[in-house]
Amino acid sequence: MNWTRGRTIGVGSSATVSLARFCDSGEIFAVKSASLAHSHSLQVEQELLSTLSCAQLVSYKGCNISTENGNVLYNLCLEYAPAGTLSDEVRRQGGSFSESTMRSYTRQILLGMEYLHANGIVHCDIKGRNILMTDEGAKLADFGCARRVNGDHGSYTISGTPLYLAPEAARGEQQGFPADVWALGCTIIEMATGQAPWPTLSDPVSGLYRIGFSVDVPEIPSSLSKQGMEFVSKCLRRDPLERWSASELLKHPFLLGEEEPCCWNSPTTVLDYDLWDLEKFDDMEWEQSTCSNSARERIRRLSEEKADTASLSGGMLSWACDGDWVTVRSNKEVDTLPQNVDQDYEDEATNTDSSASSIGLGLGTDNGSFRRDMKCGSLKASNSKCRENMYCVNSNFHNEEFWFFVHDIHPYLMMTICL
């Protein structure tokens, strides 16, 4: 395995991380190096990673021993994550993630945890700095504290980061799968607040005592949704037997609801044409309607590019079968003149001294409804592809300000133009 070492990208308590490149393939990877005499944690990590294969775990590339500048080094070659750690990403995002981002990363972390636990391995040090950000998403890394769990709870050293330790681990009793779940809850708090859990604890000794022997749990951020807060509470049960397992948490509604439910609202204006894009409607489940003139068919007919002019001008589509429609504004008072009238109403409209109604958007002086003194006629546009138009001019406007409500039937749109 021939490779060359590049610049240092990280320094830990027991190892240094550098960029490296394979001479044959040119692939970039990360190499963790420590003196051979102090490389026990790296060798533990190598022994575990060499037997694992999971998309949510940092991938193992190999290991070797080298002599550099007179020092004998043990080198562990791993996948390179150019985006850094989850903690780095939280800082880049301003100190907190949106809930949808938290949900996505939490699911990825849990998938890695579930795989480890199914293989009898406890990570023992889950936190933001031990989760790497790659092109494939978040991946668990740094298995220096990890260990295999046997059926018994024999003596072993409790390891990990104090503020992320579960109560039973802080008491020195055990550090099994539930301890990883507790650490996950603490990591979600880090994603939500940009801070480690227990932000008020500064002294490690008193901190471990509070974690291990009080009845307290880390404060769950109020910014989380109700489901999010409930999810974190399942992780932060002080009794390890009451904590949910990784497999159970993956089925929690908080993780199952990443995609927002599809909700089709009425357009806020008739220009919201995107809401009428029928290609988006094709994948929806439609309820059977007792009305032969169904909503879907009406929308399709309204958006046809080659709408039949005669059928539309002869009679509007019937919406009467939908009994829950509410009248917002009625145009019953409009005296629409025949469309063949060819008159110029500009002088009459511009000679008025009355002001437009701000409440009614200039449609009248009373309550925004159309008035009988409005004039209607045909609008001729030389550059328009419209076959037929109708406009209404409100004579209550000042000077040369006009609102034209153009009824364009190709396609069926209402457009508001201010000149």
* DSSP line for 312-333: HHH-PPP-TT-TT---S---TT
> Cα-Cα-Cα-Cα dihedral of 361, 363, 368, 373, to 10°?
160
- Enter the tokens of residue 376: 């209607």
Q: Are residues 122 and 175 in the same domain?
A: yes
Whether residues 144 and 188 share a domain: the answer is yes
Find the domain containing 200 and state its range. Answer: 86-151+158-256
Q: Is the pLDDT of residue 79 over 80?
A: yes
- Give domain status of residue 383, yes or no: yes
322 located within any domain: no
Domain of 245: which CATH number? 1.10.510.10
Q: How many CB atoms lie within 10 A of CB 87?
A: 19
Q: Kindly report, residue by residue over 285-304, the tens digit of the pLDDT.
A: 433 334 445 556 666 666 55
Interhelix angle 226-235/99-118, rounded to 10 degrees, is 30
- Label residue 88 by pLDDT band (50, 70, 90): very high
Residue 73, pLDDT above cutoff 60: yes
Q: Are residues 61 and 7 in the same domain?
A: yes
- Does 237 fall in a domain? yes
**Is 415 domain-assigned?**
yes
CATH number, domain with residue 56: 3.30.200.20
- Residue 203 binned pLDDT confidence (cut-offs 50, 70, 90): confident
Same domain, 293 and 243: no
Report which secondary-structure segment, H or E, holds 134: strand 131-134
Tens-place pLDDT, residues 367-419: 444 444 444 444 444 444 444 444 444 444 444 444 444 444 444 444 434 43
- Using the predicted structure, report yes or no on whether residue 284 has a pLDDT greater than 70: no
Looking at the structure, tell me whether residues 190 and 100 fall in a common domain. Answer: yes
Residue 317 has pLDDT above 90, yes or no: no
The mean per-residue pLDDT over the stretch 225-248 comes to 97
pLDDT of amino acid 327: 56
| 78, 95, 116 - which closes a domain | 78
Count of domains forming the chain: 4
Is there a domain that residue 201 lies in?
yes
Q: What is the mean pLDDT of residues 33-56?
A: 94
Q: Which of 78, 111, 134 is the last residue of a domain?
A: 78
| Amino acid in position 224 | L
Question: Are both 61 and 116 inside the same structural domain?
Answer: no
Query: Over 80: is that where the pLDDT of 146 sits?
Result: yes
Q: Is 138 a domain residue?
A: yes
In this structure, are 73 and 92 located in the same domain? no
The pLDDT of residue 51 is above 60: yes
The token pair that represents 321 in the structure block: 């079968």
Range with lowest mean pLDDT among 105-114, 156-165, 171-180, 327-336 = 327-336
Could you give the percent of the chain with pLDDT greater than 70? Answer: 60
Q: What is the mean pLDDT of the chain?
A: 75
Residues 91 and 240 in one domain: yes
pLDDT of residue 328: 53
Do 103 and 14 share a structural domain?
no
Tokens 């929308």 locate to 299
Q: Are residues 199 and 339 in the same domain?
A: no
Catalytic residue check, 125 = yes
Start-to-end Cα distance in the chain? 74
Name the burial class of residue 386, with classes exposed (0-12), middle (13-18) and buried (19+) by CB atoms within 10 angstroms of its CB. middle
165 & 209 share domain: yes
SS3 string, 213-250, reads: HCCCCCCCCCCCCHHHHHHHHHHCCCCHHHCCCHHHHC
- 186 falls within a domain: yes
In a domain, 185, yes or no: yes
Please write down the long-range contacts of 202-207, taking CB distance under 8 Å and 24 or more positions apart: 204/162, 207/162, 207/163
- CB neighbours of 237 closer than 8 A, spacing ≥ 6? 243
Domain shared by 208 and 96, yes or no: yes
Of 31-40, 231-240, 322-331, 349-358, the poorest mean pLDDT is in: 349-358
Domain stop point among 59, 78, 97: 78
Can you list the positions of beta strands (E) in 275-317?
Answer: none
| Catalytic-labelled residue, pool 88, 125, 142, 308 | 125
The pLDDT of 274-286, averaged and rounded, is: 38
